[in-house]
Amino acid sequence: MTRLILASSSPYRKELLERLHVEFECISPDIDEASLENEQPRAYVQRLAIEKAAKIGKTQVDSLIIGSDQCCVNNNIILGKPKDRDNAIEQLNAASGKYIEFLTGVSIQHPQSGWHREWMDRFTVEFRELSLAEIERYLDTEQPFNCAGSFKSEKLGISLCKSMRGDDPTALIGLPLIRVAQCLREFGLQVP
């Protein structure tokens, strides 16, 4: 049986992949996640997803490896994880009343055979007008400091939204399971 590896240290991606009831292990790829000069958001998340899977693939050549990366985009500016509370307030204040894109790049690779699939999922969130008090209450309750754009939709963050648009709600959390499951089945793994 082919070993499945999630090239990530993200507890959110781990929790998502567990939904598929497949055996896997997590190995952190420990790569530099800085964007390149003039790199566009879509290219950025796709490059990082591919690099994460490829790094693990160098030592785990007979495994199927899933790499994924997500960024939040406001006016074509990449917003990463906030550095601190002040940065989180700044990010959410800038998102107030706007449409914000969440881009998730995915790369699934089997280095030994050369089999691979890569894609990018897009999810758009329309934030409602947010007061500073609402932002601070959300940050105090949710502590989303390890989330792109300081936004954690799976809990209280949903209350910050006016609307959402996308094909797969799990893409917003960081790993689009609809297509991941499809790719795992295509490779030959048993996924319910």
Q: What's the chain's average pLDDT?
A: 95
Q: Which of 30, 32, 69, 168 is catalytic?
A: 69
> What confidence tens digit (pLDDT) does each residue in 149-171 have?
999 998 899 999 999 999 999 99
| Secondary element (H or E) of residue 124 | strand 115-127
| 97 phi and psi angles, rounded to 5 deg | 75, 10
Q: How does pLDDT run across 52-92, given as a tens digit for each residue?
A: 999 999 999 999 999 999 999 999 999 888 989 999 999 99
Residue 192's pLDDT is 82
Q: Is 140 a catalytic residue?
A: no
**DSSP state letter for 32:** -
What is the per-residue pLDDT across 1-56, written as a single tens digit (0 to 9) for each? 799 999 999 999 999 999 999 999 999 999 999 999 999 999 999 999 999 999 99
pLDDT at 1: 75
Q: What pTM was computed for the model?
A: 0.93
Residue ranges and CATH numbers for the domains of the chain are 3-187 (3.90.950.10)
Q: At what angle do helices 132-142 and 85-95 cross, to 10 degrees?
A: 130
